[in-house]
Structure 1
Amino acid sequence: MQQTNSSELKLLPGRNLSAEPDDLVSTIVRFCCDHIHSEHAVLVIRGDAGTGKSIVINSAFEKIQEASRLSGSNDVLHGTHNVFLVNHPEMIKLYRNISESLPTLRKKDYERPTTFVNSMDRQHKRADIVFIDEAHLLLSRRDSYNRFNHDNHLQEIIRLSRIAIIVFDSRQVLKFKSYWDDRRLEHLLRDIPHEVFTLTTQFRVRANPDVMKWISGFCSRRILPLPAQQEFDFRIYDDALEMYHDICAMNARFGLCRMLSTYDYPYVLNGQDHFIEEGRFRLRWDRARPEQRLPWAEREDTIDEVGSVYTVQGFDLNYAGVILGPSVTYDPRTQRIVIKPDRYEDGAAFVGRDALDNPEAVQEQIILNSINVLMTRGTMGLYIYASNADLRKKLHDMASRRT
């Protein structure tokens, strides 16, 4: 079996980038040179899922570390103390694996945000440049259970660095305790010199624009006409088991094809297997295996599991089979998607509602964000099955009329 779309290869610095991301890498390096003696400065990288944000930030980090560690390469940045942060256990595995193949990067360059903040505070130090991938996963409130005793990850990281380079996408926020939106980010940065750059070209989903338009519409509670038949393989299923069989067949051909689901089925971290059941389909949730070197999406054995949004956020697959669970419903009268947060099983996502002005609306947005993440994983194909009978019928009817 050939793994044609390894995330390690995708994020490996030194790849030939197209003009837009390559220009942004150069811009980031110039920004760091210009602000290395500033008190604080922030550069924000925005863009939808699949626009190349992670490859840009890792490529820029590799260039900064080369300048820091190789004498004569860049006198302004030579000897600087720089760190790459990501609040995602599967993604940090990926970055550390990548660092093994590059002479100017070290595994210790990549840290979790809380580890960084606590370490810098303990040593009474601060870094020169901090890169933050998936900044929308940073905590926006205190989390004493995980040993973060400040009020906001990003605020503390900026305090403990001269320059912060951050990747931010408000449509990938997944928890109350890391709730961000555009207004909150703008408020935090209002008194700090900062620049914002937006990537627009879609690199992950190799499809005509109507596919991304359909996904965006669905995540805004609208069902648009299905994308036209094209090379990108977009299918609707009435049977989750049939979808799984087709995902297995594609995995045998291409590798990196996986089943995914909204967090609508019970899952407890107790060492036991927990299953998703839909009609004839029964498959276990992804297993927590922190000791594994490879992240979940890269391991061949996970074809026998169903991944969650926490497992695959930030990763590419070739084909994704997405189960829309009971929290995702459809109202035939209004012809709109209806989100049912009471059927969403990720209770931990909704802890801390007292700090939000409109927690019910945020709950629904978090579920819609999770659907956006799941539907934008596949580079070659997206298969969809809906648990809700009304939604399944609506998608089936549209598929039968598809051109």
Structure 2
Amino acid sequence: MRSKITPSKQLLAVAAEEVQNREQFVLLDEQRDAYEHVMHAVEHARRSNTKTAVVVSGGPGSGKSVIALSLMGELSRQGRAVMHATGSRSFTMTLRKVAGKRAPRVQKLFTYFNSFMTAEPNDLDCLILDEAHRIRETSVSRYTRKELRTAGRPQIHELLSAARVPVFLLDEHQVVRPGEMGTVEDIEAHAEALGLKVEHINLNDQFRCGGSEVYVDWVLRLLGLKPGGPIEWKGDDGFSVSVADTPEELEHVLATRQSNGYSARMAAGYCWSWSDPRPDGSLVNDVEIDGWSRPWNLRGDRAVGGAPPAALWASDPAGFGQVGCVYTAQGFEYDHAGVIIGPDFVWRDGGWRTVREANRDPDFRNRTKVSDQEFDRLVRNVYKVLLTRGMQSVTIYSTDAQTHEFFRKLVAASPR
């Protein structure tokens, strides 16, 4: 019970072999700049006996997780005490499956933000905090043992304390749940309060891989997350945007892409009830739109009726038959994305209106915990995440007639 959480040298050697030598984790030239910056910070902290927090911010496709896994491999090879943590069960379980497939022991190096409540200060040389926009206000939950319920200690303080070089990789526009506080401003403020130096690397100013910078900019303006307002989609050689007139058309487009060997998923805003599987293992088609219906992705850790567990919905081909939500899509990418804009986000009188009554997310429904202004911000971020999962294309469908026509005007080239 009193043992350290730091990995042994033997485990680090296995991790180096398992993680570093995987082809999908090879860095591009531009990504190596951020990687080298962190490596230098780790070496400097060791030599000078100091601490430095590094924040790497960037949008979807900018390579944050590739950088994270490359750091894991190299730091393990050097024998540094390093761990990887996220706030997403889906993301962590998938990383354990991918990065530790051939060496189950390596899976222990991939854990969660709330795992460091009792960590000794600076036990780790480096703590890599992927998807850091999901950092919570506190690690305490209803499952936390009484003796660990520290008096209001912020989760971010636990993470800053645990390593000489905590590395935060985040996208500020992916804060999608109440209580999440992982922004550059939050991290810098808490680090400053603890007397720590913070270095910020903005990948958006350097490069974008595996996606379209033009499209991401279009989405940010569309959703009001960047000044300038919505603009017509003019096209981009590296990315395709289309609007479907029906959910059947949306699914057909994605099914065609899937049959051609590409990965494709459809996801929606949380605007429909979410049922447990029936006793016989069949899924309930909760997402119903004008006679078309499909089930949500599973919520549990077990496959049911051919559908994969929630954590693997985005990566397992069997996930195609269900509608994903932001909690299973966040942190992942697939070749072609289908997005259902629900009735909680509609275009009226030249602007967006968020409709709380149309949203079924339990975390959003309590007005005493989530103000109308906060609800509006979170819903916009939810759709930002869903709209930026595709690497090659996105097909958009809105359940609201006026909003559908608005998208039609913006994406004039979409086939009818």
The two structures have a TM-score, normalised by structure 1, of 0.84
- Please list the CA deviations of residues 254-285 of structure 1 after superposition, one character each: whole Å capped at 9, or x if unmatched: 23101111111112567763511112321100
Distance 1:132 1:105, change over 3 A: farther
Is 1:324–2:335 an aligned residue pair?
no
Is 1:244–2:248 an aligned residue pair?
no
Match of 2:210? 204
Is 1:99–2:99 an aligned residue pair?
yes
Q: Distance in 2 between matches of 1:87 and 1:353?
A: 24
Aligned 1:1-400 pairs, distance under 5 A: 12=22, 15-36=25-46, 38-68=49-79, 80-100=80-100, 106-118=106-118, 120=119, 126-141=123-138, 143-147=140-144, 149=149, 150-190=152-192, 191-200=195-204, 201-205=207-211, 207=212, 209-220=213-224, 222-228=229-235, 230=237, 232-268=239-275, 273=284, 275-291=286-302, 295-331=312-348, 333=349, 335-349=350-364, 353-354=368-369, 359-400=371-412
Distance 1:146 1:235, change over 3 A: farther
Distance 1:288 1:314, change over 3 A: same
Q: Distance in 2 between matches of 1:104 and 1:67?
A: 20
Q: Distance in 1 between matches of 2:29 and 2:406?
A: 41
Distance 1:89 1:97, change over 3 A: same
- Please list the CA deviations of residues 51-97 of structure 1 after superposition, one character each: whole Å capped at 9, or x if unmatched: 111101110121111101xxxxxxxxxxx432111111111122212
Residue 39 (structure 1) shift: 4.8
Q: Distance in 1 between matches of 2:160 and 2:139?
A: 16
Residue 155 (structure 1) shift: 1.0
Q: Distance in 2 between matches of 1:82 and 1:401?
A: 49
Give ranges in structure 2 of 5+ residues lacking alignment.
Answer: 1-17, 304-308
Q: Which amino acid aligns with 2:354?
A: I
Q: Which amino acid aligns with 2:39?
A: V
Distance 1:146 1:325, change over 3 A: farther
Distance 1:17 1:183, change over 3 A: closer
Contact 2:27 2:70 in 1 (8 A): no
Residue 246 (structure 1) shift: 1.2
SS of residue paired to 1:204:
coil
Residue 330 (structure 1) shift: 0.6
Distance 1:401 1:21, change over 3 A: closer
Match of 2:12? none
Deviation larger for 236-245 or 214-223: 214-223
Residue 25 (structure 1) shift: 1.1
Q: Distance in 1 between matches of 2:178 and 2:21?
A: 29
- Please list the CA deviations of residues 150-204 of structure 1 after superposition, one character each: whole Å capped at 9, or x if unmatched: 4422211212322201112221111112134443232112231121111122213
Q: Which amino acid aligns with 2:124?
A: A
The two structures have a TM-score, normalised by structure 2, of 0.81
- Please list the CA deviations of residues 366-403 of structure 1 after superposition, one character each: whole Å capped at 9, or x if unmatched: 11111111111111110000111111122223444779
- Please list the CA deviations of residues 200-255 of structure 1 after superposition, one character each: whole Å capped at 9, or x if unmatched: 222132x4x43222211122174311232745221111211111111111111123
Q: Considering only aligned residues, what root-mean-square deviation do their CA atoms show, in Å? A: 3.0
Q: Distance in 2 between matches of 1:87 and 1:296?
A: 17
Q: Distance in 2 between matches of 1:369 and 1:309?
A: 10
Residue 35 (structure 1) shift: 0.7
Distance 1:156 1:353, change over 3 A: farther
Contact 2:343 2:399 in 1 (8 A): yes
Q: Distance in 2 between matches of 1:86 and 1:175?
A: 15
Matched positions, count: 375
Q: Distance in 2 between matches of 1:11 and 1:93?
A: 20
